[in-house]
A and B are shown apart, each in its own frame.
Chain A
Amino acid sequence: MPRPGFVLEVDRSTPPILFWRGENFSLEKLPADRSRVIYAPEPHKVIDDIDGAINHALLNPVDMDPLPTLLVPGMKLTIAFDDISLPLPKMTRPDIRQRIIEAVLDMAAEAGVDDVHIIAALALHRRMTEDELRHQLGDRIYDAFAPRGMLYQHDAEDPDNLALLGETAHGEEVEINKRAAESDLLVYVNINLVAMDGGWKSTATGLASYRSLRHHHNTHTMQNSRSFMDAHKSELHKSNWRMGEVMRKHGPKIFQIETTVNNDTFPKPFDFLAKREWEWNGRDRAKFVAAKAGLNRTPPRMARNIFHGIEAPHNMTSIQCGEVEAVHRLTTENVWKQQLVEVQGQTDILTMGIPFICPYNVNSIMNPILVMCTGLGYFFNLYRGKPLVREGGVVIMTHPTTNEFHPVHHPSYIDFFEQVLTETTVPHELEARFEKQFAQDDWYRHLYRTSYAYHGVHPFYMWYWGSHGLQHCGKVIIVGGDAPTVHRLGFTPASTLNDALEIASDVVGRSPTITHLHTPPLMVADVK
């Protein structure tokens, strides 16, 4: 029986706690009697017979007819799937998406469906390479569909292949992939890593155009989502659900397939990274010492390759299919079961180690803008109820935050860092002054469509993602960060955690309460 999440009250006998620092980590001693550490629940058991569970779910959907009855000869069937940003780290082969799509194709073949397209729903994310697609879908699907042009990646900037379905009552335009919009049945295959994934967000975001996405990927929506993980308090969620209404009326019939995975994040020999420190045995300690010594001497590029080569042992804990909203309710419950940790009250200082990966730097570099997004956008929002840190409190992150960008994946990030952040770091202001220019830039558009680049507007979205955190916190400190780079982000650099606590005392006083988010593995704090 996996143990539930745990909040450790730090005392004098508490060992130093693990903090991630990008492609490295350190052990830090937290002040006794006023610090606490939040540990994720242990990984839930995965389904033994995954193929059996997939077939059962497809034949017994929620509020919809079984999939085989929806498949008829001569129909247009489109299968869309989540892109490389999920799950993190990538899972060992075979990926869940491969298994599900193979099962759907089996049924489609049996029903005599010939016209099948498979589309990667990547919104404004970068195109995936052939190897990445093969990892997600397997060689069998790739070899059968890609050469015939029946497996491809959504292009949010292709005017000929987008269809405007209508507008919501709030004036939000709903424009999605034309093939998906004109299909007789759209099967969406999703992996729900956190509660905000899935539901209408799958189609209304994953298959949408910039014209549609800008209505919910903006400062207003992000600052009014408290948090993204809590559907009832998320403006992002509400906007996607409004768009879902339009899709329900004017769009294709959607058969939603949602899955949840457990939080078994690290394979051997990195498994000690998910353990509670006082439970490390001799081998774990030896592995930590060896890994730390090795990583200290490893060039960053090589360390990055090592970490991005990790294939997580996490696997499917549930699958549900059918009508989008009914399915998503079940999925969210299953996500909560794995991730929720009850925490009493807020804290003055929230500490977090920023790891090597976030949804937007898979096989890439965690650049300074993504550090901000991971810390203030993702980790800060891992709450339900109230934020973990009180309003006006301090967030302390640990990360090297070097001025380093992936020139192929993140070209517009470089200009955002050099041209926009030098002018302002205020989300509203940079949105008003610069977003349009980046979003409509022909060169960025060209790179997004033909290379492996994120869309020109993507760094803005990353900044908006953290805007609620920015608005909420009195100060943000990055321990171990490159000082000029951290200053450019509008944050304060510190050499050590003790220095950071000293700096924070200007805002929160001499003996603040401290909470450390021991993640990854992922969790969501249910703050009472």
Chain B
Amino acid sequence: MARDYPKQTVRSAASRRVLERAAGLAEGLESLARKPVRSWRSKGFPYRAPSVPRGVEVPPKPSTLGADFDTDFARGPGSRFVRRLLVAGPVTAMVQFLARPKVEGADRLTDLANNESIGGVIFAPNHHSHLDTPLMVTAVPKPWRDRLVVAAAADYFFDKRVKGTLAALTLNAIPIDRETTSRKSSDELRRLLTRDWSLVIYPEGGRSPDGWGQEFKAGAAYLSAKTGAPVVPVFIDGTGAIFGKGMKRPKRGHTRVVFGAPLFPDENENTRRFNDRIERAVTLLGDESSTDFWTARRRAASGNATPLTGPDYTGWRRQWALYEHRKVGVAGQRRRQKRRWPDLGN
């Protein structure tokens, strides 16, 4: 049976003339450029790259991408001014539009802000989304906001020059190796902390793959132990549902950023134990965020708090438990209360 194919459209005479003229113009330009290109090609070294003698091995060029990306320019006065404008304008507007954040617990940092002997501070939030960094950059309290660097995955944010430059300029991102322990990254972060720059570092090392948290790596604890900088545990709630790992486009929602009391490494406390303490603090804040201050503390003390990394089981039960965990539960009483009238009898 014959099919009805759509008929070929026939170009009009006018459009054909336009195409002919364009082709003629391109030909003219090519003929004009041909001569200077030929003469340049005829010139050798030093106008062209040198040829490599046989038997000689040229050392590879040092990489300028990934963990080697140089971000010093982003901390110069010009870049800081531009970043301040960007953060106060488009970044804040975007965060407010997408995430409508509620910031809590900043009062716990009052002493830290008033203590002039403390310079850099390490903020250690959980990590669910690319939105976490813009959220942190706008939520971190004022004394630290203007001198804040963000540790960003070198293999993701700094794999291309344009991407890396943008990340460094807008968020003051600094590349950090996720897979290998790079001395260069840690030395750079230590150098910045001792120069009173504060740092946002995600101890989980990457975004959550399934909505639950991941085990903390000891980067924040190590840096704190080496520099004496306090670690501020932070819990970010809600960004996973807005732009979690695997989502193609963001979906508007509500978020909460809860700052905890600063932690200092105790004397004789090794990095692993301090890291455990940071993880417990973030877990407690997470519980506080979904229940309330008192319930969270009692559950933590009795060992009944849900771990940040979720239950041990896998598959659908894990997702099911996540749904249950996200329900507001007893904190449904968080609404403003009606006036409680005393019973005056009859």
Contact = CB atoms under 8 A, between A and B. Distances in A.
A449 interface: yes
A191 B294 CA distance: 23
B263 to A, nearest CB: 12
B287 to A, nearest CB: 12
B115 A48 contact: yes
A102 interface: yes
A51 B218 CA distance: 26
Interface stretch (A110-118, A252-260, A298-306, A397-405): A110-118
Interface stretch (A19-27, A133-141, A488-496): A133-141
Interface in B303-346: 331, 333-337, 340-342, 344
Given A109-B300, A155-B342, A140 B115 contact: no
A93 B105 CA distance: 11
Given A105-B297, A140-B293, A146 B337 contact: yes
Contact of A94 (B104, B107, B293, B336): B107
A171 interface: no
Given A48-B115, A49-B111, A49-B115, A152 B340 contact: yes
B160 interface: no
A138 B115 contact: no
A98 B108 CA distance: 10
Contact of B114 (A48, A146, A147, A152): A48
Contacts of B177: none
A99 B290 CA distance: 22
Contact of A109 (B104, B297, B341): B297
Given A109-B301, A147-B334, A158-B342, A51 B261 contact: yes
A9 B104 CA distance: 51
A143 B292 contact: yes
Interface string A40-62: 00000000111100000000000
A338 to B, nearest CB: 19
A329 interface: no
A446 B345 CA distance: 12
B293 A141 contact: yes
B295 interface: yes
Contacts of B295: 144
B288 interface: yes
Given A109-B298, A109-B300, A144 B111 contact: no
A51 B264 CA distance: 13
Nearest to B297: A109
Contact of A143 (B111, B298, B334): B334
A93 B107 contact: yes
A148 interface: yes
B9 interface: no
Contacts of B294: 105, 109, 116, 141, 144-145
A114 B298 CA distance: 8
B110 interface: yes
B51 interface: no
Interface in A185-221: none
A149 interface: yes
Given A114-B298, A450-B341, A144 B292 contact: yes
A130 interface: yes
A148 B105 CA distance: 22
A114 B292 CA distance: 14
Contacts of A148: 333
A194 to B, nearest CB: 25
B302 interface: yes
Contacts of A110: 297, 301
Q: Please report whether the interface of chain A is mostly helix, strand, loop or mixed according to DSSP.
A: helix
A140 B292 contact: yes
A112 B301 CA distance: 7
A143 B293 contact: yes
A147 B333 contact: yes
Contact of B302 (A50, A106, A112, A152): A112
A110 B295 CA distance: 12
A301 B115 CA distance: 38
A146 B338 CA distance: 11
Contacts of B107: 93-94, 98, 138
A125 to B, nearest CB: 16
Contacts of A130: 336-337
Contacts of B342: 155, 158, 449-450
A37 B300 CA distance: 57
B337 A51 contact: no
Interface in A133-190: 138-141, 143-149, 152, 155, 158
B298 A48 contact: no
A450 B115 contact: no
A111 B294 CA distance: 13
A59 B21 CA distance: 90
A102 B115 CA distance: 21
A44 to B, nearest CB: 15
Contacts of A141: 293-294
Question: Most chain-A CB neighbours within 10 Å: which of B105, B111, B333?
Answer: B111
**6 residue pairs, one from A and one from B, having the closest CB atoms:** A147-B333, A109-B297, A140-B293, A144-B294, A144-B292, A94-B107
Given A143-B334, A147-B335, 15 more contacts: A50-B110, A51-B111, A93-B107, A94-B110, A106-B297, A109-B300, A110-B301, A112-B302, A138-B107, A140-B105, A140-B288, A143-B333, A144-B295, A446-B344, A450-B342
22 contacts: A50-B110, A93-B107, A94-B110, A105-B294, A105-B297, A109-B294, A109-B298, A109-B300, A110-B297, A112-B301, A130-B336, A130-B337, A139-B104, A140-B288, A143-B331, A144-B292, A144-B293, A144-B295, A148-B333, A446-B344, A449-B344, A450-B344
